[in-house]
Amino acid sequence: MNKYNNFIDRFKIEMSNANRDISEVELIAVSKKKSIEDIRQVIQAGHRSFGENQIQEVENKWIDLKKEHPNLKLHFIGGIQSKKVKSIFQYCDVVHSIDRIKIVELFSKLEDQQGLFREYFIQINTGNEPQKGGVMLEQADKFISNCINNYYLNIVGLMCLPPLNEDPEKHFVKLAKLADQFSLSSLSMGMSNDYKVALECGATHIRIGTKIFGERN
């Protein structure tokens, strides 16, 4: 798949430019709105880490794909509805968008019941945008402390989506400082339009859709 291979070549160069080692960053191919056939091409090119933001797409595409390729890693990166938690837990390996204690409690209960364990990121609303998901900045310290100290989920790091009309760097820096404050080692930040800045700011998980799969219909 030429588009994928071309991006991987550029990504390696950007990693080098940012003085980062390729082993430090997980590149998540975001396959929302893309067909199983498109995804299979990227799998055949050797990629193993994918992301979706709607559970309906996970259920429609990834149940069979993960049976075919048991070593695939699936990340859920969208907003979480309470009624969808069970399905997200069942089919996804990593959840990037924890932002309410109710959701934390539901995942924690499922882990206890099923003996399965996932990785979780807390989504921080670094721009304090009311229309966007994520924990507001003024509530972040208390929320993160509560998750770490009172629940047993494997909180590995923080995630953010910077406001579209602002310099992403200041938001990535905020997220990195907050994660460091709680000794969280992973930072899910950076997409097709700002991943280079995210790399320079210490991102460990980059979420790329368009540059790998092309424009969505």
pLDDT at 1: 60
What confidence score (pLDDT) does residue 152 get? 86
Spatial contact of 115 and 107, defined as CB atoms under 8 Å apart: no
Domain hosting 209: range is 2-6+26-213
Name the pTM for this structure: 0.96
Give a yes or no: residue 160 inside a domain: yes
Q: How far is CA 155 from CA 10, 31, 46, 178, in A?
A: 31, 24, 28, 14
Residue 132 lies in a domain: yes
Mean pLDDT for 180-196 is: 97
CATH number at residue 85: 3.20.20.10
Mean pLDDT of 162-182: 97
Is residue 19 assigned to a domain?
no
Residues in the chain: 217
Q: How far apart are CA 124 and CA 213, in angstroms?
A: 27
Closest CA to 58 of 27, 33, 83: 33
Q: Is the pLDDT of residue 36 over 90?
A: yes
112 part of a folded domain = yes
Number of domains making up the chain: 1
Is the pLDDT score of 69 beyond 90?
yes
Which 3 state secondary structure label does DSSP give 95? strand
> Has residue 105 been placed in a domain?
yes
- The predicted structure's pLDDT at residue 215: 83
Check: CB of residue 134 under 8 Å from CB of residue 125: yes
Residue at 15 is within a domain: no
Mean of pLDDT over the chain: 95
Residues 98 and 124: beta-carbon distance below 8 Å = no
pLDDT tens-digit map of 198-216? 999 999 999 999 999 988 7
In a domain, 134, yes or no: yes
pLDDT tens, residue by residue, 140-157: 999 999 999 999 899 999
User: Which two structure tokens, joined as six digits, stand for 28?
Assistant: 């998540």
DSSP type of residue 7: H
Q: Distance between CA 157 and CA 132 in Å, rounded? A: 19
Residue 12: inside a domain: no
